[in-house]
Amino acid sequence: MNIKHLSKLAVAIGAAITVNANVYAQAPSVADEEVITVTGSRSPVNIDTALASVVVITREDIARIQPKSLDDVLDTIPGIDITNQGGRGQNSSLFLRGTNSNQTLVLIDGIRVSSASLGSTNTQIIAPELIDRIEVVKGPRAAIWGSDAIGGVIQIFTRQLEGSEYIAGVTVGADDYRQYKAGAGIAHPDGKGHTSITLNREKSDGFDVLKTAEDDNDGYEYDSVAIKGQQQVNSQLAIDWLARADQGDNEYDNAFGGANEAETRNHAWLVRGTYSQIIGHVQNHTTLSVGQNRDYSENYLDGTDVFTTVFETRRDQFSLVNHAQVFPFLQFNLGFDYYNEQLNSTTDFAEDERDVTAFYAHSLYSKDDLTVEAAIRHDDVENVDSETTYNAGIGYQINEDTRIALNAGSGFKAPSFNDLYFPASQFSSGNPDLQSETSDTIELVFETNYANVDMAFNLYQTDVDNLIVWLPDANFFFQPTNVNEAEMSGIEFTAKYQGFGGNHQINAGYVDAEDKATGEQLIRRAKDQFSYQFDTNIGDLSLYVEYQYRGEREDNVFGVGRVKLDSYHLVNLTASYPVTPNLSVESRITNAFNENYETAVNYNTQDRAAYIGINYAM
């Protein structure tokens, strides 16, 4: 992996989580390789110039990890802690720098893919095989992207094959796991563009998810397809497009009886055009994009129509962004975003549609040893409120190897349809008077190279107000209210070194995510985190070793109260060997020492599991 901007600040004592950075296209993991990132500002920026904490994971990184889910990839990133209620196909929660799981914005090629009813994103359905790269921006980016970007932004870029590129593969493994993948790139006749299609199918019998109910295996099945292309129309106009569909069926255990199977679907499409011109000495690029995302979830009992509930959300999105490179050291970005959210459900909501309109401006100055960034955005969320957010940062290059930076920013999370309009019953009700959750963050960054070791330290604090919590009254009637305040503070450290037989990366971190009213740690977040990654080549054989440590965490059990979950250690191993220039064999062992652990109380995690696959690529 290639680590880069994420960490910073020196202050001391261990902290945080790990990272990689490398690529805009598909660059090799070389320390001095130029890496371009776009998520932090919605315009191309050299990662060494960007002040935001950015991690880039490349296609090569993903192939090295050989993940069986997106969680396997994101778990390697500093600042991310993931809990899972039973493995692939089950509910998972992603906590970025201690913020709530719905306070991180997830994008696929610039398209919002969260559920408007839940307010969170189902990452389980996203197949790693369809991913070209991932950019993770840590810290608030609401001034660039709007709602949800309190903890940060995760943008997934769909895999695209060039003309005459082909891939195919089969993998089998534990719990009767089977995966089939294929893809092809097609060059356009004029030689100025190409289109690719990639397909992935996965199926597993799974394992028993919940210790306290339904002693059975809970399997899953996922199918994904993506079509992505681009065309240079003329010297000034380029267009690109995306259409992808992900579908899943999974079984789960219900502690209270009722539904125990789910069907999920996520469809997305995007058409984007970029017009480039030089006006005087200004390089100007205007991008217009239109897209849509549909998120569908149906729950039922054992293949019947009993206990059936359906939630389907649709989001139509439109964006207009202008990027002006005024001088080599100065850029300005102006943008307009609009999206319409609609909800269709078997549950009758009081409101089932809303519009969100936003304008933003961003500038970046970088010359000699000084870098300055500023951004401001105004979002108008229909029937909720309007929010104005900002980002500001300043960085100074102390010498050739060392840089220090200070960043500040604000964020917000608009309440979901469930929060606002869930219909009243004898047990619960939504609250149409809710306000958006808001945040303020400050971070100090320090990056240096000492004795050929790239090191980065990051110190941050985030204060979140108006947290939305579903609380019961004296009669155990649940309704969401803006009551809680939380504080997340932490330190992150990463170090990367090439030598001693391979590439080494160490990550350490500490995050204190506290409910300010009670002083208690927010549930399911581990305070202490450490990881080590090593990859090497022995002849043609590629090897990768990953060690992860997560400290103690607490969970909450209804009727019991808070329960402490033990710390745990995990070791994952992968290997790859090219039989021919086009054919390779790969293998992965997950949880190599068969650690017995929980990230959510009473939910099992996977035992030691082994996988082997054959891949063809041309």
Give pLDDT, residue 7.
Answer: 34
Tell me: the pLDDT tens digits for 178-216?
A: 999 999 999 999 999 999 999 999 999 999 999 998 899
Is 589 part of any domain? yes
Tell me: the pLDDT tens digits for 348-360?
A: 898 999 999 999 9
Q: How confident is the model at residue 375 (pLDDT cuts 50, 70, 90)?
A: very high
Residue 419's SS3 state is helix
Is 24 part of any domain? no
CB 171 within 8 A of CB 188: no
Q: What percent of the chain lies above the pLDDT cut of 90?
A: 78
Flag whether pLDDT at 22 surpasses 80: no
Over range 405-424, report the average pLDDT. 95
Give pLDDT, residue 213.
Answer: 87
Is 11 part of any domain? no
Over range 248-252, report the average pLDDT. 93
Burial code (b: 16+ CB inside 10 Å, e: under 16) for 442-481 equals bbbbbbbeeeeebbbbbbbebbbbbbbeeeeeeeeeebbe
Is 36 part of any domain? no
Judged on CB neighbours under 10 Å (0-12, 13-18, 19+), 225 is middle
Tell me: the pLDDT tens digits for 470-521?
A: 878 778 888 899 988 999 999 999 999 999 999 999 999 999 999 998 899 9
Flag whether pLDDT at 25 surpasses 80: no
* Domain CATH for 429: 2.40.170.20
Is 488 part of any domain? yes
Q: Among 9-18, 366-375, 577-586, whose mean pLDDT is lowest?
A: 9-18
Element holding 200 (H helix, E strand): strand 193-207
Using CA atoms, how far apart are residues 458 and 447, in angstroms rounded to an integer?
Answer: 9
Give pLDDT, residue 381.
Answer: 96
The most confident of the ranges 63-72, 301-310, 468-477 is: 63-72
Flag whether pLDDT at 8 surpasses 50: no
Q: How confident is the model at residue 533 (pLDDT cuts 50, 70, 90)?
A: very high
Using CA atoms, how far apart are residues 125 and 128, in angstroms rounded to an integer?
Answer: 10
Flag whether pLDDT at 329 surpasses 60: yes
Structure tokens given for 167: 């891939």
Give pLDDT, residue 172.
Answer: 98
Is 27 part of any domain? no
Flag whether pLDDT at 593 surpasses 60: yes
Give pLDDT, residue 20.
Answer: 32
Tell me: the pLDDT tens digits for 266-287?
A: 999 999 999 999 999 999 999 9
Flag whether pLDDT at 13 surpasses 60: no
Cα angle: 426, vertex 430, 432; to 5 degrees: 140
Tell me: the pLDDT tens digits for 146-187?
A: 999 999 999 999 999 998 899 999 999 999 999 999 999 999
Over range 221-230, report the average pLDDT. 97
CB-hemisphere CA count at 13 Å for 116? 27
Using CA atoms, how far apart are residues 245 and 250, in angstroms rounded to an integer?
Answer: 17
Tell me: the pLDDT tens digits for 430-471?
A: 999 999 999 999 999 999 999 999 999 999 999 999 999 887
Helical spans, DSSP H, in 431-535: none
- At 360, the amino acid letter reads Y
Over range 106-129, report the average pLDDT. 91
Give pLDDT, residue 33.
Answer: 61
Flag whether pLDDT at 23 surpasses 50: no
Flag whether pLDDT at 4 surpasses 60: no
Is 38 part of any domain? no
3-state secondary structure 561-616: EEEEECCEEEEEEEEEEECCCCEEEEEEEECCCCCCCCCCCCECCCCCEEEEEEEE
Q: Domain span at residue 526?
A: 54-617
Flag whether pLDDT at 315 surpasses 50: yes
Structure tokens given for 36: 């371009």
Give pLDDT, residue 528.
Answer: 93
Give pLDDT, residue 32.
Answer: 47
Give pLDDT, residue 255.
Answer: 82
Over range 564-591, report the average pLDDT. 97
Is 43 part of any domain? no
Q: What percent of the chain lies above the pLDDT cut of 70?
A: 94
Overall number of domains in the chain: 1
Flag whether pLDDT at 17 surpasses 60: no
Neighbouring residues of 547: CB distance < 8 A, sequence distance ≥ 6: 531, 532, 533, 569, 570, 571
